[in-house]
Structure 1
């Protein structure tokens, strides 16, 4: 089977997000509310609104500060998305939400829970995407989709992580060089995250280029599918190639910070060499106090399906783990000019 290459030759061009209903997202929660407690959890379906806007709106309706509202992850604005929010209302009755919400926001369920919903507390997201005006080689596109189902998808951070026209990288550099002062800790975190994502994407691009993004090299840090822990591969386990092929294991790349990468030998040298191509970002992340972490170089999409509804309309369905980008999957086989999309 022909391997992926970077940059990928994509067999289709298409339009994504022709309308919000073409990008459906359903959050898969890690916890469901138990029915009692100080926090009101709300399952909300929104159309054409981003997550932070809805969180601020819920805070105003409830008369609580923005920090009293929680959610597990940001969802796309140009989409129809379903996700959970929490609002801290100790000893208070919840307002009648529907009387204050715009028609783009609908409360599907409201139940109490003992804890606030924290960022990252989700299993993943289910997606249904419709690509319109598809042009190109349909057979090649379907072959690429079959390959993605068998081998997984390069786990690039999507364009949304980098801001409009990639501006978050320039702001991160200015922050690290002292020419930009950022007092808002949330905004500062966005710039730090963009810097980390840039280094990770460069490492992944290098591993795609040499064909080792899903092949273990001596010194690689390998991660069990669905787990955060990893181990160093030293060609001491003959089952590793088979487990990688079955997507039970994944090669990882660095989320840059203080200290040496967990990898060893030539792999560690490659990662350090890539980081050296963006020294302002690498040194800035180290000085900011972030420590080295790992992220899988590959996404394992679950239940990946596709169907041609019309000659030029393709419907995709799949589930991704938390932190993966739906548009990263799409861009493997179709050029959509996508602006990102964080799951």
Structure 2
């Protein structure tokens, strides 16, 4: 396996590629139409329930902003709208949302550029994150370079079918400003002022000069009035936090809680994602395989069953992995205490200790955010059956992934490019 040369990826724990072969370079998302995502829903049950299920198709819209605009057109609170998956902004995405206590006729009030909303049914329950069968992707990588492009694509396709590191991608941490895990770590520690400063402050070079200056000034002064005067108007969440601090000086906890609940919970789970990436990279660095189990490894089966690899069942576990019935998994920590079973668990515990975070911190964050952070198993490898087509300097990739897996992680294995070429 080859180590990533890019500092940004290393900072996020995304440290290795599955192969040493040269990449194809190129750029993702030259236009939103180059990145098409279609959600594969679970069956809709209880058709007479109070939740209206709609198919939402949007082009170049951030999901939270789209939901707020839809709610505004409907004259309802955005908190009545839920979804199963968070999709990319710079893309054409089709997904499903649930809206509580709304008639199908009311959807006709929604008229927004590059957004269509179609009623598909009703349910007794709201959609929840992860409650989908998967996502279908149709992605075009443009301006690819290097000799023997077709051969490089063929090699990457073979690697993707055998298994690549199942990293959380760059967009999990913020595309222009990868800070969500840093904010989440401070929330976990109860450092709400530090969390606000990391969210509103902490400039990044790919932002406008005005935005960078406003963030730097807030970091240095903690002055919310100046922030309201200086932050660009499109920074609605930062401005909402600053506005709260103007009205409630020093109430940094309250400032965080003006964020939409799902966004606030994503900040904490982003730190969990960071811990996962770092621990997975540590396994690879130690020379251990993604698909050959070590004693103490956790296994997750396709039916949800879990097991621990022992000396007695190691060969059987290897056979089950090769048959596609289970995968090696890493337990992402949360509020529930965990008994370590193997080297990956021990690495995770060491990493949490290094950051000064414990299960008790997740419990406190659960109360603050009003979202349970119990911890969960995540497979360390990603398998993709990719249909790849090469045309001059462009490569088209079509594949389907389970929920919670990142298409950019697959594209990264083909491109081996600067991560900013994938945003």
Which TM-score applies when normalising by structure 2?
0.71
Q: Partner of 1:329 in structure 2? A: 410
Q: Counterparts of 1:268 and 1:41 in 2: how far apart (Å)?
A: 40
Q: Counterparts of 2:299 and 2:310 in 1: how far apart (Å)?
A: 11
Moved over 6 A (4+): none
Distance 1:84 1:331, change over 3 A: same
Q: Partner of 1:311 in structure 2? A: 392
Cα pair 1:195 1:281 within 8 Å, conserved: no
Q: Partner of 1:192 in structure 2? A: 268
Matched, 1:16 2:38: no
SS at structure 2 position matched to 1:322:
coil
Q: Counterparts of 2:363 and 2:123 in 1: how far apart (Å)?
A: 38
Structure 1: unaligned runs, 5 residues or longer: none
Matched, 1:233 2:309: yes
How many Å apart are 1:122 and its aligned residue?
0.5
Structure 2: unaligned runs, 5 residues or longer: 4-14, 195-252, 367-372
Q: Partner of 2:229 in structure 1? A: none
Distance 1:306 1:262, change over 3 A: farther
Deviations 1:97-135 (A, max 9, x none): 2x5322301234443333322222111100000000111
More helix by share: 2
SS at structure 2 position matched to 1:195:
helix
1:170-319 equivalences in 2 (<5 Å) = 170-175=182-187, 176=189, 178=191, 179-180=193-194, 181=253, 182-183=256-257, 184=259, 185-209=261-285, 210-225=287-302, 227-237=303-313, 238-258=315-335, 260-280=337-357, 284-285=361-362, 288=365, 290-301=373-384, 303-308=385-390, 310-319=391-400
More strand by share: 1
The number of residues matched between the two structures is 334
Distance 1:213 1:275, change over 3 A: farther
Q: Give the root-mean-square deviation of aligned CA atoms.
A: 2.7
Cα pair 1:29 1:122 within 8 Å, conserved: yes
Q: Counterparts of 2:49 and 2:337 in 1: how far apart (Å)?
A: 44
SS at structure 2 position matched to 1:239:
helix
Q: Counterparts of 1:202 and 1:53 in 2: how far apart (Å)?
A: 31
How many Å apart are 1:34 and its aligned residue?
5.9
Q: Partner of 1:26 in structure 2? A: 38
Which TM-score applies when normalising by structure 1?
0.87
SS at structure 2 position matched to 1:254:
strand
Cα pair 2:291 2:381 within 8 Å, conserved: yes
SS at structure 2 position matched to 1:332:
helix
